[in-house]
Structure 1
Amino acid sequence: MPSPITWTETVPVRSSDLTPHGTASMPALCVYLQEAAGHHADALGVSMRDLREKEQAWVLSHMYLHLDRLPQENETVAVETWPSGLDGLHATREFVLSVDDTEMGRATSRWFVIDTERRRPVRPPRLLYDLDMPDRPRPLRQAFDDLPTPDRTDHETTWTARYHDLDLNRHVNSVRYLEWALGTLPDALLDAHRCTGLALQFRAEATAGTPVHTTAQVDTADDGPAARHALHHAETDDLLAAARTTWAPRD
């Protein structure tokens, strides 16, 4: 039986996923996307487990997420995902999030495969080149460009990567970068606003013990604040990740 080229799974919003306002947090939603992508990759025969046998691993390069609203406590989120193309060494994947058959968010992402010994990109698995990609538009028409970093520092924090921040590749999980970026913003902004959009770009890996300096620039817009985020190695100043978030006042 052929593997489904489009994959859908449902995720109940757990109490541990909630913010103080009773809505799913942005890191929790990104976990939902990663889990759905991983389960679909497993069904297609290109999972992390399959790649590890070849000393390879998937690495997320970019993620863009736009939300009409945030799912709430006791709701169930349906995550639909599908591979959408190959561009050189990169593979793209799309997502649509729904609650009760009503679309409430959409995302697009770009990934590449690395040789885990040499830490260098390699061509994606041959299986992906043989797939008939779904003939449907991308839910977000987003170019995977370099994200701008802050021009000034309005807020800053320094974190240290710990053992439990690491993933199967033994580098800091992408969701942890997001938590650190959001954790740099003041509580007053987070309490008064909901996140409507997120862009993430990962530039370099961090491992256990890495000191990570996060900075944020927050600008006022008519529809709510917009923030630029940067995460640098606190000792070498190498850029590890960049992010952009948009916010709207809570209802």
Structure 2
Amino acid sequence: MEKYKTYNQSYLITDDYYLKEFGNLFDIGKLIRHTLYVSGEHDKYLQREINVKLIKQDQTWVITQYYIKQHQLPKLNDQIWVRTRVIDANRFFITRYFDVYTEQDLLYEVYTQYTVIDLNSRKMVRMNVDPLEHNQLIDTEFTAAFNRFVKPDSFDYYLTTEKVIHENDIDYNNHVNNLVYLNWAFSSLPEDLVKNYSIDTIEVKYGKELRRDNQVMIESFGSKQDDNHIETYQIIKDKDNGKDACYVRIQWQQEEKKL
């Protein structure tokens, strides 16, 4: 069953992978879209080849958190591969590991935790992970890298911004698409930070789902770790009731030259 443990897809890095409005910041959102696609194709592959089916027709995957480690930026015209494997599974959560690489270099590592909800009740449901265990499809060599989110006690700056939810921000579940939160996070940070520092790690944890009629407020905290490193911590919340919808923590390191 070893050959079924992983699944990969290749992509060509083109000019639209770089966000001009953020000083040619690499589009992490596009990379995450690739991981979502590859995980879905892996599910289909397992069902087609060995009849392993994890969710029912009236159920859907929901992402609860991410951990993204950036090792090296891809270059224009690079051919990259996105590979996935399941590294942990229980009745309520499945964790996948993705490595993103060229023929020579490891570019990114992405850990993604999923749960399953019923589309009618919108409640979390239990999964039957026995087929994964029976077919030895869980790669236990990897350990999830998720950390606890704690609001910083002290910080060097504090900003608040508001965002408007647009129609194209809404996904097929009638909630804000999870990648929109990342775009909101980047656009709410100081411009000189985003343009003069590179990303080391990104951590994202989702809370209350936002709908199209919600008002969005973002609290951004920044702490200087040393002369070359800054940590930002952001809380994206429903402004009306104050409930937290998403937490984003990014470790930044200063770089000498941007792409």
TM-score range with shorter-chain normalisation? 0.7 to 0.9
1:78 aligns with: 81
For 2:80 and 2:33, the matched residues in 1 are separated by 12
For 1:207 and 1:129, the matched residues in 2 are separated by 36
Q: What amino acid is aligned across from residue 132 of structure 1 in structure 2?
A: Q
For 1:211 and 1:3, the matched residues in 2 are separated by 47
1:93 aligns with: 96
Q: Is the 8 A contact 1:65 1:198 kept in 2?
A: yes
Bigger drift between 77-86 and 100-109 goes to 100-109
1:39 aligns with: 41
Per-residue deviation at 1:106? 1.0
TM-score w.r.t. the length of structure 2 is: 0.85
CA distance 1:69–1:113, shift in 2 (3 Å)? same
For 1:164 and 1:150, the matched residues in 2 are separated by 33
Q: Deviations over 1:111-147 (max 9, x none)?
A: 1000121111101255545441254521x652454x2
CA distance 1:128–1:211, shift in 2 (3 Å)? farther
Greater Rg over alpha carbons, structure: 2
Which of 183, 189, 203 pairs up with 1:179? 183
Overall identity of the aligned pairs, in %: 19
The alignment covers a number of residue pairs equal to: 246
CA distance 1:231–1:8, shift in 2 (3 Å)? same
Q: Does residue 1:161 correspond to 2:169, yes or no?
A: no
Q: Is the 8 A contact 1:78 1:97 kept in 2?
A: yes
CA RMSD after TM alignment: 2.6
For 1:171 and 1:182, the matched residues in 2 are separated by 20
Q: Is the 8 A contact 1:230 1:239 kept in 2?
A: yes
Give the 5 Å matches for 1:1-251.
4-20=4-20, 21-22=23-24, 24-45=26-47, 51=55, 53=57, 55-125=58-128, 127-128=131-132, 130-135=134-139, 137-138=141-142, 141-143=144-146, 145=148, 147-149=149-151, 154-222=158-226, 223-251=228-256
Q: Deviations over 1:84-133 (max 9, x none)?
A: 12133111111111122421221212110001211111012555454412
Per-residue deviation at 1:4? 2.5
Q: Deviations over 1:25-46 (max 9, x none)?
A: 2222222222222222222239
1:154 partner SS: strand
1:142 partner SS: coil
Q: Is the 8 A contact 1:181 1:215 kept in 2?
A: no
Bigger drift between 235-244 and 121-130 goes to 121-130
Q: Is the 8 A contact 1:150 1:230 kept in 2?
A: no
- Give ranges in structure 2 of 5+ residues lacking alignment: 49-53
- Give ranges in structure 1 of 5+ residues lacking alignment: none
For 2:172 and 2:55, the matched residues in 1 are separated by 12
Bigger drift between 155-164 and 184-193 goes to 155-164
